[in-house]
């Protein structure tokens, strides 16, 4: 797929993009997405997963992170499948611990690896880390939509700063950190609009913060496809339609049945 650089994918004015967020090891929801994709996976359409496909958020007994990870690795060979980096994959790369409800998810992930691969687990972890390092962090569509795990970061002056954002490394990279961890409150509506202007977009789509299906904050659409506060939603983004702002994206939100 055409890119603006290693970290930013460019999508042309053609077809649709199915946008799905935060699976967090939920293989049941992942299967539903693949079912949906079956009918839409023509050459000009795209499937985008916006990161955080590992680390179960409810109970570690139900953590299918490794099954999803193996499946998405296979799908990455297709040009119209796009897997973005989330903060949980980033935490695996940087060896940071992430906690949810008192559980150390990084330790849980290592536990899964030990169970499945035994003595080979460290080797396997390294293989996954290398895979995560190949993932892009954002997508810019020709009709002006910016798609990332979370964010936006403040102090971005041009889209060029996103194109090769991981070149400066993963650990001490404030811009990358903000792009993967920032939630509304860390930034304002005005920050979103400033960012969009600098990167030449009209609206943006993120996951990361659990909401009831979706939440529109002016020109930022937050979507929860699996780990959510209620309903589970995704976006069927029409890449050929003019996008003037967040409201045009709201019309493209769909719910899982
Ligand atoms: Mn996240």
Quote the Cα angle for 44-223-210, to 5°: 150
d(CA 56, CA 59): 6
Please, are residues 207 and 149 in contact by the beta-carbon 8 Å criterion?
Answer: yes
Ligand 1 centroid, distance to 144 Cα (angstroms): 23
Ligand 1 centroid, distance to 206 Cα (angstroms): 9
pLDDT of residue 155: 92
Ligand 1 centroid, distance to 149 Cα (angstroms): 7
Ligand 1 centroid, distance to 191 Cα (angstroms): 20
Question: Among residues 240, 237, 164, 160, which one has the least CA distance to residue 199?
Answer: 160
Ligand 1 centroid, distance to 171 Cα (angstroms): 16
Ligand 1 centroid, distance to 26 Cα (angstroms): 14
Ligand 1 centroid, distance to 106 Cα (angstroms): 14
Q: What is the pLDDT along the chain (257 residues), one digit of tens a residue?
A: 456 789 999 999 999 999 999 999 999 999 999 999 998 998 899 999 999 999 998 766 789 999 999 999 999 999 999 999 999 999 999 999 999 888 899 999 999 999 999 999 999 999 999 999 999 999 999 999 999 999 999 999 999 999 999 999 999 999 999 999 999 999 999 999 999 999 999 999 999 999 999 999 999 999 999 999 999 999 999 999 999 999 999 999 999 97
Neighbours of 88 (CB within 10 A): 27
The owner of tokens 């839409």 is 40
Instruction: Show me where the domains of the chain are located.
Output: 8-255
Ligand 1 centroid, distance to 82 Cα (angstroms): 17
Ligand 1 centroid, distance to 184 Cα (angstroms): 13
Helix (H) or strand (E) holding 238: strand 233-238
Rounded to 10°, the helix 105-117/87-94 angle is 70
Ligand 1 centroid, distance to 210 Cα (angstroms): 9
Per the rule left: phi > 0, alpha: psi between -120 and 50, beta: everything else, 218 is left
User: Does the global pTM surpass 0.75?
Assistant: yes
Annotation: CATH topology of 8-255: Purple Acid Phosphatase; chain A, domain 2 (3.60.21)
Ligand 1 centroid, distance to 7 Cα (angstroms): 18
Ligand 1 centroid, distance to 140 Cα (angstroms): 19
């Amino acid at each position: 797929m055409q890119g603006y650089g290693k970290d930013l994918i460019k999508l042309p004015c053609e077809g649709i993009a199915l946008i799905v967020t935060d699976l967090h090891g939920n293989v049941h929801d992942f299967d539903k997405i693949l079912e949906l994709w079956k009918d839409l996976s023509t050459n000009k359409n795209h499937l985008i997963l916006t990161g955080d496909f590992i680390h179960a958020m409810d109970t570690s007994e139900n953590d299918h992170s490794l099954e999803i990870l193996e499946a998405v690795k296979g799908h990455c060979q297709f040009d119209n499948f796009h897997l973005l980096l989330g903060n949980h994959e980033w935490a695996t790369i940087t060896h940071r611990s992430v906690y949810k409800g008192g559980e150390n998810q990084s330790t849980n992930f290592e536990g899964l690896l030990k169970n499945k691969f035994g003595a080979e687990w460290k080797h396997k972890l390294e293989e996954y880390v290398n895979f995560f390092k190949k993932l892009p962090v954002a997508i810019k569509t020709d009709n002006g939509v910016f798609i990332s795990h979370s964010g936006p970061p403040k102090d971005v002056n041009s889209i060029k700063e996103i194109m090769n954002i991981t070149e400066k490394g993963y650990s001490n990279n404030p811009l990358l950190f903000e792009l993967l961890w920032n939630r509304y409150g860390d930034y304002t509506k005005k920050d979103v609009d400033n960012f969009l202007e600098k990167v030449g977009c009209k609206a943006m789509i993120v996951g990361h913060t659990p909401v009831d299906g979706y939440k529109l904050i002016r020109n930022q659409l937050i979507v929860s496809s699996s780990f959510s506060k209620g309903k589970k939603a995704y976006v069927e983004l029409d890449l050929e339609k003019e996008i003037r702002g967040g409201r045009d994206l709201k019309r493209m939100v769909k719910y899982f049945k």
